[in-house]
Structure formats: C-alpha cells, structure tokens
A and B are shown apart, each in its own frame.
Chain A
C-alpha cells in the first residue's frame, strides 16, 4: 500500500489466545455436541485459515437450550437483585482481566483490526456488563413502577460485526433484570461467545442462565419461533428483522430489533475540515464499514465539496490496510466471502449506474477477504449506492445547498438509525438534529458508544433501545 510513512510490521502476538481445535454448544453449563452431530468450521477472514470446528445447533438443540434456560429462570429471577449484580460485576471484571486475549481472538475470528478490538470492542464490552450489573438491585427506581418483573427466557440472535459487544448488549441487561438467555452468535464469528461461556463458568454463574448456540440462520429462526421463548432480541439485517416481526405476530413475545441503516453524515460549509475528515473516515471505515450505524452517505455542502473531497482523498491514501493483528492497521479484512461478494456486487452496480468510483492506491493481500476503501462521487439519491446498505468500506458522496435540503436528503431513506452533523454553529446543530429522523445523532463526532447511552433506530432500522435506563424496558414485563 502506498503511504507517506513506511512502518515496520508490529503484530500483536496471538500466543495469548489458545483456540481449541473444536468447541461444543454451551447448554445448561456444559459444552455438548449438537444432537445431530453437525459441525462447521470457522475461519480467519484475513487468511482463510481454519481456526476451529464448532458444533452446529439445530432445532433439537434449541429446544434443549430453551428448556435449560426455563429451568434456570425460576431460581435466577428469584435471586435478590444484589446477588445477580455481583455475578455481573464478576463477569465484567473477568472480561477486563482477559481483555487482551479476547481482543486477539475477536480480531482472528472477525478480521477487524486489533486497534479496534483492543481499544473499542473490549472496553465497551466490560463497561456494558459493569453498567447493567449496577441496575440489577435498583430496578424499583428505574421508572417502571415498583418491583418490575422479568419476562422469562430471552432468545437472542446477534451479528458478526461486533460479536462480543453485541453479546454484551444482549446478555447484560437480560441477566440484570432476571431473565435467562439462549444466544445464537453468527456462524462466521462463534468463538468469542464460546469464550464468554467459559467466563460464565469462571464467574460461577448458575447453570442454564446463559446458553450459547453457535449455528446458522435456521437455528436463529427456530429460537425466535420457540413457543417457550418470552423475549426476542435481534441485531442484524432489516430483511431478517421483518421476518422475525412476522414470526412473533399474534404471540405475547416482546421484541426488540436493531437493524440496518444508511446514515447521513452532513458537513456544512463552516465545519472544521480536518476534524470533519477524521469523522467521515471513522464514520465509514471503522470496522471496514460493517457497522449498522455507519455514516455511509456523506452529504457535503456544495461550496466546500472540492476542498473536502481533496482532503478526504489525501487522508484515505494514508490508511493502512492489511494484517488485522498489526497494531498499525486501520482497515482489516471483510468478515466473509459472502459479505465481500455482496459489497463487490453493490459497488459494481454503483459504477454501472453512473456514479464515479475512486479508491486510493492500495495493495490487497493475496489470501483472505479484502476490499479497498472506496468513494463514490456524482451520486444521486436514486442510485443504489445511495439507497441500499452496503455494509462495507464504501462511501457515497452527495451534495446539498441549504440546511433544509440536507435534512430532506438525510431523511430520504426507509432507515433511521444514525446521522452526523458537522458545523461550528450551535443553533444549527440543534435545529438539524431536531429534524433528523434517526435514533442516534452525533454532532461534530461520529460512532461514539457508551453503555449509558440508548441506541436504536427509527423506521425500518428497528425498534426498542439498547443501553441506558431505556435498555431495561426491553427485558421487563412493563
């Protein structure tokens, strides 16, 4: 990759993590084989190396896990909140202790840079457990009335882009409120959830409170449809989210969905350009753009388009793409061949529809799944790359003249998850933020997360909130 500075390789050692050649399902406190004996391989997307062979949950395993969770529910929900809190504090602490190991593991299994797993994913995972641990004995004061009750067994299906963080977002509030859990991690990133199962054992968590079922979509669908599941939480694509909403129709299951997005990052002519460029880069290239709240549509005020794009292109030329374990790496691997195919096909469609494609000079490794940071200019609102969620390192640039036009374009999408505003004018920030139909708005920053801060979408980006006091509601019978 052409760059201003040459760096010597600085790889983080993978010796800190010991990946077993095979893993079972984690049901009722034990690692067990799938009922039908099926297994699947999980590979490192940066090298295509097989990391481990993992048991593949089927319908019978889902049923077994739900039964285990149901059995565990009675005692777990009856524990004093202060005791549940201590289990969660233990988990938070063990995650902190093992955070480097987990960061390396996540980078290997997911393909994202160690810089991100080490500095973003893992600290947020520990913080999330620590935050919800504190709620467990304070639910009377959370604004849902006295003695709010848990729902029962929570069926949770999580994606591959932030495997352990999404697990934390799901499991921490569920356990704090007294529910028990059956969680299905994504088929391309099962390992950190299985390591988490080990953490539950180290923490002495009662058997059956957390059950982990690696598997494919079929297992997720069976979990969602299981009659003894009281709560469904899903993070993933909007198409699957709609299917889940249909599945639970007519039942009493409570549902929260955190789905896709096509976030607008709006840059006004008075924005500090260098700061905005950093925010744009973070907004769309963080985790290779495989982020539901990515700022994948750049809306730039026409008068500064040339200056901003020049700076942005210069900055993109300095991004380092390569070995995710290298501490200098900015852009890691795409999570799977399937996802790479999807990104490639959408980008080709963008070109075919007449948008102008640009990438910095960028050498891609020989093996693994890679995609160079990509910009599209001359994009109209009708272009596929301006409408569809690409879930990759691809930014579509559109322009506007007035704040009203910026707002209209930003809201012109069925999604409504995130948005960014870059301007030095305080009143403009507030006025524009007020009009954006999105669940999270970042002004003069982007992609910030915190366990105290509710996260979730408007419109087809889903419903319900995760994080903060709001996140409790999803797991309480209120």
Chain B
C-alpha cells in the first residue's frame, strides 16, 4: 500500500433525484461505534423535509402509474447495483453498527436479497390482496390495491441498512413514493444507498433520503397535509405518540413502531399498511327473455 491520501466522500441528502446539502447549511458529526469520526452528515431542516414532500408528490403519478413489471425490474436493478458495491456497504455497515467484517457482509447480503424479494412482489401483491367480489346482482365487482401516496418512513435507529431497506422497499414496491429519515446515529449507509438508487432507474423523487435529528425532521412530516402515511419504525414511544397525534390532522395511515427481527423473511404487512383498496362496480347487463340486453 502506498501512503496515498484517500479521497473522502461528502455525504449529501437525496431529494428529487439530486444530491443537495441541507438548505440550512448545517452538518453533524457521525462517528463509528467507538466514537471515531466518520463524516459530517447533513443536518436536515424542516425546509428540507418540505422540499422532499414536494419531490415525492411530483414523482407519485409516474411511479404509481408505472406497470408493476416495470417497478419489479427497477427494484431488481437496485439489487444488481448494490451487489457491485458490496464491499463499500460492508465497510459502512461495520462502522455504523460496530460489526465484524464478516457479520457486516452477512447483513449486506441479506439486504441485497431483500430487494430481490420485494422486486418479485410488485406484480403479485394485487392478486393476493385484490380480487373479484361475488355481489348479489348483475355487476362485475373488482377490488384492487392502490398505493396510498406519499409515505414518510422513519428508518429503524439500530439496523441502519437491512432495517432501512426492510421498511423502504415495501413502500415503493407497491407504487408509493417515500421520504426516508435515516437512522440518526448511523445515517451513512442510507445516504450511500441514495447513490445506488440514483443509478438504478429509480425515478428521481420516488425515494428521498434525509439525515439529521429524527424528531426534528419527522415532526413537520407527520403534520404535513400532503403526506398520506407515516411509518414510525424509527421513533421511540414518546415521539411515536406525538407524531401519531399530529398525523391525525389529515388522517394519515400510521404504522406504529413494533418489535421486528429484520433478519427474518418479512410478511406482506408492510406492503398492505400502505395500500388502499379500490372497489369498482360495472353493470354486466343480463340476457332478457326477449333476447340480448347487453
């Protein structure tokens, strides 16, 4: 090895497909589990949160309108891109969570596999939770799941990468757009994931990543009238209650924090939490006594 000085990365936010610094100009120090300085991460403000909502709303029409097959391919592409940067993420996860290199590598592998798992769900969930309803009348009646809209996701505080992807992927797999608040203490894997998303055909604005103080960013998101739902995974009990109360103002769908083992294969709950059911009635007509009336 030479004595070459390494090039450090400036970690930035990811909003609307671009990589801005916080509009506030603030940063905070991110350290590893032993307290060694790793980077200065953006300390997002309320304004950053609002900008992210605007970007997520703008992206919603296109992403929710994309075919499920297309969304599946894009999510699979994320896994492909991650695979190529496996070493980088292993290093970042090891630093963030104080894991050995081999344990961190296992976490990264599981995370890549999680993208693959959800990639396969995009064109199957509608068949599992939707379907025809045998109404007592001459109607064809069909219920289909549709994405709720713009979802604020408070990523888990401890599981900075596998946990993050385990709460993000189900939200976007079904056609929602997301604003992710990264783990406060360990935001770097999330901020690096943004670079992967940006090169995986995920349209700008579908995922927006903010780092900083969870409570400071989540409070305006929970109260925002153009956010449709919030996943409180990364909130403690006190904050979760405050946010749930704020979320009631426009009746956001709220996923309360609950104990989750992110190493386990997920169920479909995190997808259905952010799906609406639309039921459409169509008259079928009927064959009358005198011949056709359809």
**Chain A interface residues (CB < 8 Å from chain B):** 127, 143, 238, 241-243, 245-246, 249-250, 252, 257, 259, 414, 429, 433, 436, 438-445, 448, 450, 452-456, 458-460, 462-463, 465, 468-470, 478
Contacts and interface: CB of A to CB of B under 8 A. Distances in A.
Contact of A454 (B133, B241, B269, B282): B133
Contacts of A242: 248-249, 251
B128 interface: yes
B280 A433 contact: yes
A448 B141 CA distance: 10
| Pairs of residues from A and B, 6 with the lowest C-beta to C-beta distance, nearest first | A250-B241, A245-B248, A249-B244, A450-B135, A452-B133, A441-B280
A438 B278 CA distance: 7
B176 to A, nearest CB: 13
Contact of B277 (A448, A454, A459, A478): A454
A249 B241 contact: yes
A143 B272 CA distance: 12
A439 B240 contact: no
Given A127-B136, A453-B141, A462-B251, A246 B245 contact: yes
Given A455-B279, A463-B251, A470-B277, A448 B245 contact: no
Interface size bucket, B side? 20 to 34
Contacts of A252: 256
Contacts of B241: 249-250
B282 A443 contact: yes
In terms of DSSP, what is the predominant structure of the interface of chain B?
Answer: mixed
A459 B133 contact: no
B253 A453 contact: no
Given A250-B237, A441-B280, A453-B279, A463 B137 contact: no
A441 B279 contact: yes
A450 B137 contact: yes
23 contacts: A241-B251, A242-B248, A245-B251, A246-B245, A249-B244, A249-B245, A252-B256, A414-B250, A433-B278, A439-B276, A439-B278, A439-B279, A440-B279, A441-B278, A442-B280, A444-B283, A448-B139, A453-B133, A453-B281, A454-B133, A458-B276, A459-B250, A468-B143
A350 B245 CA distance: 33
A278 B15 CA distance: 49
Count chain B CB atoms within 10 A of each CB in A242, A414, A453 and give the residue with the most.
Answer: A453
A429 B244 contact: no
B133 A441 contact: no
Interface string B124-164: 00001101011111010101000010000000000000000
A89 B175 CA distance: 40
Contact of B251 (A429, A460, A465): A460
Nearest to A238: B251
Contacts of B131: 469
Contacts of B248: 242-243, 245-246, 249
A429 B280 CA distance: 10
Given A127-B136, A143-B128, A458-B276, A448 B249 contact: no
A465 B131 CA distance: 14
A252 B253 CA distance: 15
A439 B275 CA distance: 11
Nearest to A252: B256
A442 B133 contact: no
B282 A429 contact: yes
B39 to A, nearest CB: 35
Contact of A450 (B141, B148, B228): B141
A147 B226 CA distance: 38
A465 B250 contact: no
A443 B250 contact: no
Given A249-B245, A450-B136, A452-B136, 13 more contacts: A243-B248, A250-B241, A250-B245, A259-B251, A438-B278, A439-B278, A441-B281, A453-B141, A453-B281, A454-B143, A458-B276, A468-B133, A470-B277
A257 B254 CA distance: 13
A127 B139 CA distance: 17
Contacts of B141: 450, 452-453
Interface string B2-27: 00000000000000000000000000
Contacts of B240: 250
A246 B281 CA distance: 34
A439 B277 contact: yes
Nearest to A433: B280
Given A249-B241, A414-B250, A470-B277, A453 B282 contact: no
Interface in B38-56: none
Contacts of A448: 135, 137, 139, 281
A455 B279 CA distance: 7
Contact of B143 (A243, A257, A453): A453
